[in-house]
Structure 1
Amino acid sequence: MSNNKLMIQGTTSDAGKSVMVAGLGRVLARKGVKVAPFKSQNMALNSAVTIDGGEIGRAQAVQAQACGLAPHVDMNPVLLKPNTDTGAQVIVCGKALKDMDAVTYHKFKPELLQIVLDSFERLGQGMDIRLVEGAGSPAEVNLRDSDIANMGFAEAANCPVVIVADIDRGGVFAHLYGTYALLSESEQQLVQGFIINRFRGDVSLLTSGLEWLEQKTGVPVLGVVPYLHGLYLESEDAINVAQTADDATFTVVVPGLPRISNHTDFDALRLHPQVNLVFVRPNEPLPAADLIILPGSKSVRGDLAALRQQGWDKQIERHLRFGGKVLGICGGYQMLGKRIHDPLGIEGEPGSSDGLGYLDTETTLAENKTLKQVTGTLSLEGKQAELLGYEIHAGVTTVNGEQPFVLAGVNDGAISDDNQVIGGYLHGVFDKTEACELLLSWAGLTNSVAPDMDAMREAGIDRLADALEQSLDLERMFPGVAKW
């Protein structure tokens, strides 16, 4: 197997590609190997901002952290952010290019291949190994033409491939054998091994199946990774609703908007021992809450219309009438103002919409997206806390008279005169312990003990790396790069 690049593909979405790259990156980094993550094409509404003001998938930012690197746009040169069921904003090398429907984008992909390969080449400078994550499944034969995310990239870059499958879903041997069988002969020659992920029980019970799979394909099984209960890693796209607190009494409710973005904003609340975090699905009423948070959105006016269609606007009004608090983040902040204008049709049909009217603000969506990391001081009710966040938004918001709630680094957002409603652009506002505790104190939770998210991220990556080091044949995967 080549020792300077390796691609992890999966039999399905969520098979374990992202976590394998993150875990292997940490394994190699701990051995002193210079390693970088790469994903040619990512589709996710959960994105991250690089230091130089680019936008990439959050999974690659987590993988960069695992490798001991700062996130860079070359780690994810193509990012697709869906804004309808058939279309997405296409982000190339960190910057928004244009919106495309699926058919148009499929025709455009050949033009992107060289851009992807150039990013991959630049990323390799000074690196011993590049770990590449595939997208979805390589067995999607309808997408094989012009593929840049799986075997199309692997063949163009002459990159060996390992295929991972999630046994917890069931049918793992069918997934692996079927995926391999659907590959072309040249693609099969790139497959160097299989990994079985999230196994519960005695590995000896798999022996006959592993032998059968190797006999049928001629491809070795490089290891069986155990199911890691309670592992915390930021989710790439699917919202993680697993709750850690069984007896929490402080309830935070997040309406599940159709195009909700950057849902990892709420991980610190989901993992908070005193907080019951509730994501409300469509056609469900908002339950009684201490705090309602309107999340970020890729299609703000469309999601605002959906919120009203669900009747959630009336339920928010009732929540405030009974003394509850409301916080809006990014798109949610825009919704809390008086008007939202989209004259250029940035997120849909051109036009304007009435906001919920709880903040004296007005937003106009602009062509150039704001992308930046922000360090500041959260100031509420005479108290202050250091804050580290990031901005990803197309809107320019005018605040009329109301005080900003983030100071020192940047003035951001607004607080209503009655102190019940806050809005701001910063994502990640709950990640710093002191800022999380101050916001929850404003919302009514006394003596909050917020989790240390930085420590939890590091602990999760290290735990994953430990499991991979124990369960995978790393010498076979990375011959000669370290002492295993």
Structure 2
Amino acid sequence: MTLPFRTLMVQGTTSDAGKSTVVAALCRLLARQGVAVAPFKPQNMALNSAVTLDGGEIGRAQALQAIAAGIAPHTDMNPVLLKPSSDTGAQVIIHGRVRAEMNARDYHQYKTVAMAAVLESHARLLARYEAVVVEGAGSPAEINLRDRDIANMGFAEAVDCPVVLVADIDRGGVFAHIVGTLACLSESERGRIVGFVINRFRGDIALLEPGLDWLEAQTGKPVLGVLPYLHGMYLDAEDAVQPAQAGAGAFRIVVPSLPRMSNHTDFDALRAHPEVDLRFVRAGEAMPPADLVILPGSKNTRGDLAWLQAQGWPAYLARHLRYGGKVIGICGGFQMLGRTVADPHGVEGAAGSSAGLGLLDIETELAREKRLALLEAQARFDDAGIALRGYEIHMGVSNGPACERPAFVIDGRGEGARSEDGQVLGTYLHGVFDDPSAANALLRWAGLRGERAVDTAALREASLERIAEATRPVFERLLSVLSRAGGSATARSGT
């Protein structure tokens, strides 16, 4: 098909307005039409990340969007990734590799360098694909971030592309969000917004129509469509953890909601499991009885370890194990289970060493170099052969007697560790519950009797198809609007 754009950007009036899912839907719809399309996010701030085939690290949402487009995730799809390690600092990742740890002020000065990386990646994607669909970050109306902006209108202006603005009606105040956002933009920025998408609507559309008419009259721009609130979606979250809620299953899994928890998508398959009740426990909340406790990954292992200790988790874990419960640690959670976690180079904060939980006989030292690796292999778990899919993203090395009792054996090589009594297990592999055979083996070890693990790939694919179908009227209206724009500057985007 002949497209009226090369680059199209989706921005939102707020964070979590639905930018990621709209981009994924547009990528899927374009791919259905035989268009070679790639997703792109200039700058992402997220603790959920994915490892790419070219050996780098990008935001989880861009990996999902690549799946929607039918292509392999690549570091050019998210050239700048910020992984917060504190309230004021973050690890800065450029083209998939750690560049530095910076505070907010230093990064603001660094944005000119980051913008060069952004434009370089965008140019490479345009050379390889017919279309690039771009996701903005946060909101373009954040006045304090307008200077040197690389994430929203700063990028759109630099590459001269049209913009679709998404607003979430479920939050309330959707018309104020849209009109207020336009009021905060410059004339040229307002001019490149080609229309609005209202997301997460539930109710009688007839009651919304007077508001839509008013919005179009006030702004002179079309509402491209209204997307319904879709329940039961299985899509990788970019960052926010859904509120804790009681599950339907009888097998109880508890996860501490660490302040700097990373890659909590590890638990998506368990949340969807029909026999599992998974709870995230936040600061100050009561720790319920559990069959299995899982310590998640962390972007600040020593800081989150101190949080666990201050919240009383050591005593809870000791009681849990005394009554026969099991514990799994993933990545940073694995490191916390050991005797010590040392950070001699200050890669995650102040240099120093912390006493661990002492549940595994290992010691961990954080290193400057981050290990990034994809894994898809047959492995041994206890006496069973399992299909193991996962990935590693960590900056530490763990050693000790517990490593002689590995969690998994892969091609004759041990991975992870176990306690001498067999109740505690640690692994550096994220995504270990995504394959049904691995999930079943781990849950059997933890005490669940059943073989009903979730096929996460099938759930994800079904959800992508659902959002694509829901977005199809928006897509068709968008193509019509852009085609009518003809020779305007925005219609010539990416050339």
TM bucket by the smaller chain?
A: over 0.9
What is the aligned counterpart of 1:439 among 414, 437, 442? 442
Deviates more, 1:151-160 or 1:394-403: 394-403
Distance 2:246 2:284 in 1: 25
Distance 1:475 1:53 in 2: 35
Deviates more, 1:352-361 or 1:161-170: 352-361
Distance 1:417 1:477 in 2: 66
Identity of aligned residues (%): 59
Distance 1:125 1:324 in 2: 54
Q: Secondary structure at the match of 1:265?
A: helix
Match for 1:139: what amino acid?
A
The answer to whether the 8 A contact 1:243-1:270 is kept is no
TM-score (norm 1): 0.96
TM-score (norm 2): 0.94
Match for 2:241: what amino acid?
I
Runs of 4+ in 1 over 6 A off after TM superposition: none
Q: Secondary structure at the match of 2:370?
A: strand
Q: Report whether the alignment pairs 1:43 with 2:45.
A: yes
Distance 2:61 2:326 in 1: 32
The answer to whether the 8 A contact 1:9-1:163 is kept is yes
Match for 1:122: what amino acid?
R
5+ residue gaps, structure 1, are none
| Corresponding position of 2:344 | 343
After TM superposition, give the deviation of residue 181 of structure 1 in Å.
1.2
| Corresponding position of 1:312 | 313
Q: Secondary structure at the match of 1:136?
A: coil
Distance 1:28 1:244, change over 3 A: farther
Distance 1:290 1:324 in 2: 5
| Corresponding position of 2:160 | 158
How many residue pairs match? The answer is 479
Q: Secondary structure at the match of 1:124?
A: helix
What is the aligned counterpart of 1:33 among 32, 35, 40? 35
Q: Report whether the alignment pairs 1:467 with 2:461.
A: no
Distance 1:89 1:251 in 2: 34
Deviates more, 1:49-58 or 1:463-472: 463-472
Deviations 1:225-246 (A, max 9, x none): 1111112211110013465843
After TM superposition, give the deviation of residue 16 of structure 1 in Å.
0.5
| Corresponding position of 2:276 | 275
After TM superposition, give the deviation of residue 103 of structure 1 in Å.
1.0
Distance 1:156 1:471 in 2: 26
Q: Secondary structure at the match of 1:178?
A: helix
| Corresponding position of 2:388 | 387
After TM superposition, give the deviation of residue 343 of structure 1 in Å.
0.5
RMSD of aligned residue pairs (Cα, Å): 1.5
Distance 2:352 2:480 in 1: 58
Deviations 1:247-285 (A, max 9, x none): x11000001111100000000000000000000010123
After TM superposition, give the deviation of residue 128 of structure 1 in Å.
1.4
After TM superposition, give the deviation of residue 204 of structure 1 in Å.
2.1
Deviations 1:58-79 (A, max 9, x none): 0000000000010000000000
Distance 2:329 2:321 in 1: 14
The answer to whether the 8 A contact 1:8-1:162 is kept is yes
Q: Secondary structure at the match of 2:31?
A: helix
What is the aligned counterpart of 2:433 among 430, 435, 438? 430
| Corresponding position of 2:132 | 130
The answer to whether the 8 A contact 1:244-1:271 is kept is no
Q: Secondary structure at the match of 2:127?
A: coil
State how 1:61-140 maps to structure 2 within 5 Å: 61-140=63-142
After TM superposition, give the deviation of residue 192 of structure 1 in Å.
0.7
Match for 2:255: what amino acid?
V
| Corresponding position of 1:353 | 354
After TM superposition, give the deviation of residue 218 of structure 1 in Å.
1.2
Match for 1:325: what amino acid?
K
Deviates more, 1:295-304 or 1:397-406: 397-406
After TM superposition, give the deviation of residue 432 of structure 1 in Å.
0.1
| Corresponding position of 1:450 | 453
